[in-house]
Chains A and B, each alone.
Chain A
Amino acid sequence: MMLSPELINLITGGLGFLFTLLIFSYMLGDNPLFRIAVYIFIGVSSGYIAAIAWWQVIMPRLVYPLISAITSASMLNLGVLSSIIIAALLILMKASPHLTGVGRIVMAFLVGVGSAVALAGALIGTLIPQILATINAFDTNASSLNNLDPEMLINAAFVLAGTALTLAYFHFGARPKADGSLHRLALIEIMAWSGRIFIGVALGAVFAGVYAAALTAFIERISSLINFITGFLGNFL
């Protein structure tokens, strides 16, 4: 039986309407309707992720190459894929509390690879570009090429000061005083206090961005509720 696109749209819209209402019921407090929607959402999302992992990771990277290696009798590929399959089986052992230790070797491999990727990503993707962006604003060669005006230099100095003062806030090295109490150096303390202003401003800008995005989503959901009701009633009026 094939469903018509109109009917699929009606069912999809109806379910979307229902789930939006169930989630919005949270505004009245935590209640069973909200929980039903959230549990179904977690179930559907997990099932969807599992299907994606199956079709986009395991089948093309493990099953199809394995079939290809068997049919072409490529011993090297077969050996590599066999070792991955053994590792995959060891990971699956982690699902059982009694066999969880067996999967530790593969977890060590994943943690090692993950740490290296995170380390390289932090260095190449964040640390070096951010430091260079701060320094390059003062590059005299670049400034003559781009006709950098004094206002931009002042702005760059302000950004540099903000970066340094923010980092100073996270400096927690302290020296013991004669009475045994621990205190940061006075200069660091002043820098850290100024850094708090920059951190507050940065977090405020991020918060405003998130709030604007949340507000947009809220308006979109309200609009979808109204559209569904008017569309539904339009079929009968």
Chain B
Amino acid sequence: MRVITIFIAILSGFAVLGGYFLGGFFPVLKDIQAQILNAAITLMGVAALTGIFNLISVHTEKIRQGKKGGVYSALLIISLVLTFLLGIILRPEHIAMIAVMNSVIIPVEGALMGILTISLLYAAIRLLRRRVDVLSLSFLITTIIVLFTLSLPFGDPPLLGDIARWWSQIFALGGIRGILIGVALGSLTTGLRVLFGADRPYGGR
């Protein structure tokens, strides 16, 4: 079983990579890649449904065992099943589903994002109290410069605005580009480790 799963992961991975890098020379590789990606998207949809089914089963078990917070789990399951049935019967573009979106999902997301304002402020104050070094100081100076100079309602102040703009666009760009390249190198290495069978996150030792 272990050998089969490794073989499938490597084969499917290299078939997709072949489409990306050799598709120009061998058009058939592009077709194979498209078929594989289509199948993967469909299976991702099924995997999403399986994950949601697992969420229901975990919370049903919580209610059945009478664990603490069972009332919340009941609310979760009721709202999940009702929304799903409504979506299946009426389709997601129906006015009722849009109303669900506008009355629950968007307000809660917006309010959670709003609460982040206070959490982030608290985190920034804690950072300054706990750790005063070159990294935290450059972090806080940049935050203050960007927030208090480039976000003023009456436009940028003459000289300070230019300095702040240079600071946030040129100075920050070097670091952001370095971090992006670092993340890309990390993704590249992780992808290669999976494709060569060194890492097997799908199971099997």
* Chain B CB within 10 A, most for which of A44, A116, A161: A116
Q: Is A182 an interface residue (CB 8 A)?
A: no
Q: Is B63 an interface residue (CB 8 A)?
A: no
Q: Is the CB of B20 within 8 A of A104?
A: no
Q: Is the CB of B191 within 8 A of A116?
A: yes
Q: Is the CB of A206 within 8 A of B117?
A: no
Q: Is the CB of A196 within 8 A of B38?
A: no
**Tally of B interface residues using CB under 8 Å:** 126
Q: Is B160 an interface residue (CB 8 A)?
A: no
Q: Is B163 an interface residue (CB 8 A)?
A: no
CB-CB nearest in chain B for A45: B105
Give Cα A104 to B99, complex, Å: 39
- Asked, given contacts A23-B111, A213-B113, whether A163 binds B100 with beta carbons under 8 Å apart, the answer is no
Q: Is B26 an interface residue (CB 8 A)?
A: no
CB-CB nearest in chain A for B151: A212
- Asked, given contacts A48-B100, A95-B53, A110-B40, whether A57 binds B194 with beta carbons under 8 Å apart, the answer is no
Q: Is the CB of B171 within 8 A of A198?
A: yes
Which among A116, A201, A215 is the interface contact of B195 at CB below 8 angstroms?
Answer: A116
Q: Is the CB of B83 within 8 A of A204?
A: no
Question: Which residues of chain B come closer than 8 Å to A52, judged between CB atoms?
Answer: 87, 92
Question: Which residues of chain A come closer than 8 Å to B57, judged between CB atoms?
Answer: 95
CB-CB nearest in chain A for B121: A211
CB-CB nearest in chain A for B194: A115
User: Would you give the shortest CB distance from B81 to chain A, in whole angstroms?
Assistant: 7
Give Cα A168 to B110, complex, Å: 38
- The interface bits of chain A over 104-136 (1 if a CB of B lies within 8 angstroms of the residue's CB, else 0) are 111111111111111111111011001101100
User: Would you give the shortest CB distance from B85 to chain A, in whole angstroms?
Assistant: 8
User: Would you give the shortest CB distance from B174 to chain A, in whole angstroms?
Assistant: 2
* Chain A CB within 10 A, most for which of B20, B41, B124: B20
Q: Is B29 an interface residue (CB 8 A)?
A: no
Give Cα A209 to B172, complex, Å: 12
CB within 8 Å of B: which A197-237 residues: 197-215, 217-218, 220-222, 224
Question: Which residues of chain B come closer than 8 Å to A62, judged between CB atoms?
Answer: 42
Q: Is the CB of A134 within 8 A of B91?
A: no
Question: Which residues of chain A come closer than 8 Å to B76, judged between CB atoms?
Answer: 39-40, 42-43
- The interface bits of chain A over 53-72 (1 if a CB of B lies within 8 angstroms of the residue's CB, else 0) are 11111100110000000000
Q: Is the CB of B108 within 8 A of A61?
A: no
Question: Which residues of chain B come closer than 8 Å to A215, judged between CB atoms?
Answer: 117
Question: Which residues of chain B come closer than 8 Å to A142, judged between CB atoms?
Answer: none
Q: Is the CB of B97 within 8 A of A48?
A: yes
Q: Is the CB of A49 within 8 A of B9?
A: no
Q: Is the CB of A55 within 8 A of B92?
A: yes
- The interface bits of chain B over 51-95 (1 if a CB of A lies within 8 angstroms of the residue's CB, else 0) are 011110100000000000100110111111111101110011001
CB within 8 Å of A: which B146-175 residues: 146-147, 151, 166-168, 170-175
User: Would you give the shortest CB distance from B151 to chain A, in whole angstroms?
Assistant: 6
CB-CB nearest in chain B for A166: B178
Q: Is the CB of A106 within 8 A of B43?
A: yes
Complex A-B, nearest 5 residue pairs according to Cβ-Cβ distance, in ascending order: A162-B174, A51-B87, A166-B178, A204-B142, A47-B83
Q: List 27 A-B contacts (CB under 8 A).
A: A17-B107, A19-B103, A20-B107, A39-B73, A46-B84, A47-B82, A50-B84, A51-B87, A62-B42, A92-B53, A94-B54, A95-B54, A105-B8, A108-B200, A108-B202, A112-B10, A112-B16, A116-B16, A120-B20, A159-B177, A166-B175, A196-B133, A200-B135, A201-B175, A202-B173, A204-B138, A212-B151
